[in-house]
Structure 1
């Protein structure tokens, strides 16, 4: 009697020649990923009321996976679920941003220091290429591509550190950083990419302390730009100055 093993992984059963295939990604996972990216890129704006049937229509799915995805997004802080009101995209408080960017500064400053210690010519060349691409995307007004390239540059530096725990920790905050950085990218402008260029030079020169300090300043500039932009958005537009009354001309 031949026994056939059952598994979820990919492999070939030697006795029967049966190939076990990996299961496809569950629909709720695909919906979760799609909604997360829509929040990050601003398609679903902060504070926006989320209606299940509308989201289901946008994604071409039923309401059930949308409902499951919204619950997960709520658990992770992307969405707020309120009884009697429903779901809305989370609006981050200022202290949330400060806490995340402070954690990012600590992680990435150390990553930059170690990257300067371990950098190879090929890795530095890739960083320089990303700097050129990011500046070009910004110049062309492609903010989504600018943000993606910024994230890839920072991720590459962390990977160059050679510390897998730094890589894992940085990956946990990567999406949230992209969410905060998206509205800031045009505001930061080319200054951000000039800072990147200085950072890459310090890494290429093997100057660990300078690389760490530039990265720390870089993340601080982003934090300040975020708060400045929020303050600017919250300031009501000034009413136009009233026109001076003109005295009617006397006729003679």
Structure 2
């Protein structure tokens, strides 16, 4: 009898194709519409209208809204339907506070691990952000800001921290969009100083600058919430 512990060689198989399920694609599109302001906080989400807009049936839209409700993007109200969630000041404070701690550490590590090539990419992203400010391009500011912070995170080399920040990144962009213009040039001046510090390899100072930078964003968001409440 053959030895049961002996494994026979197995022929190679083609990698399994895993297309994104339609409900996931619809979920991603609707959340993007919320982040970029196409769907406003408190707005009523009508399944039939969204289905027609996205060119799908109502079923994947219904499933997407259920998932977005579980993730905190959408509120489901009995007998009324689905509405875009309106962030509370407490939610924003908790999220932006957590982000401040994580990104300060990512900046510290980015400075420790900086190379001429990774710093050069930071300067390219900085130029993109400054161009968006000059054009008063809100969407461009939000995208460039997210890209620059993401690159600093990549430079940190900490995969666990990347996972944690990834959990809040999309919601941070949602909160940042309404204040992108208010932050404007000041935010990119802060980025410039931060990049110079990262390039110098001063991890402690880079962490301090990132903490101050994210705390300013948090403060401006709070001030805006107070004036609009």
TM-score above 0.5, yes or no: yes
Per-residue deviation at 1:19?
Answer: 5.1
User: Which residue number corresponds to residue 187 of structure 2?
Assistant: 192
CA offsets 1:18-62 (integer angstroms, 9 cap, x no match): 856513221111100100100000000001011100111110111
After TM superposition, the score normalised by the length of structure 2 is: 0.92
User: Are positions 1:81 and 2:76 aligned together?
Assistant: yes
Q: What is the Cα-based RMSD across aligned positions, in Å?
A: 1.5
Per-residue deviation at 1:129?
Answer: 1.0
Trace 1:198-237 onto structure 2 (pairs within 5 A).
198-234=193-229
Structure 2 SS opposite 1:189: helix
Instruction: Pick the structure with greater CA Rg.
Output: 1
Match of 2:46 among 48, 51, 57: 51
User: Which residue number corresponds to residue 8 of structure 1?
Assistant: none
| Structure 1 residues 20 and 101, CA gap change in structure 2 (3 angstroms) | closer
* Runs of 4 or more above 3 Å deviation: 18-21
User: Are positions 1:176 and 2:171 aligned together?
Assistant: yes
Distance 1:126 1:30 in 2: 30
Higher relative contact order structure (alpha carbons within 8 Å, sequence separation ≥ 6) = 2
Trace 1:157-172 onto structure 2 (pairs within 5 A).
157-172=152-167
Distance 1:121 1:20 in 2: 37
CA offsets 1:115-161 (integer angstroms, 9 cap, x no match): 11110001011101111110101211221121111111111111111
User: Are positions 1:117 and 2:112 aligned together?
Assistant: yes
| Structure 1 residues 20 and 216, CA gap change in structure 2 (3 angstroms) | closer
The count of corresponding residues between Structure 1 and Structure 2 is 220
- For structure 1, the 5+ residue unaligned runs are 1-12, 235-252
User: Which residue number corresponds to residue 37 of structure 2?
Assistant: 42
User: Which residue number corresponds to residue 144 of structure 2?
Assistant: 149
Distance 2:178 2:227 in 1: 12
Distance 1:26 1:133 in 2: 34
Structure 2 SS opposite 1:185: helix
Distance 1:50 1:137 in 2: 31
After TM superposition, the score normalised by the length of structure 1 is: 0.84
User: Which residue number corresponds to residue 61 of structure 2?
Assistant: 66
CA offsets 1:152-195 (integer angstroms, 9 cap, x no match): 11111111111111111111111010000011101111000000
- For structure 2, the 5+ residue unaligned runs are 1-9
User: Which residue number corresponds to residue 128 of structure 1?
Assistant: 123
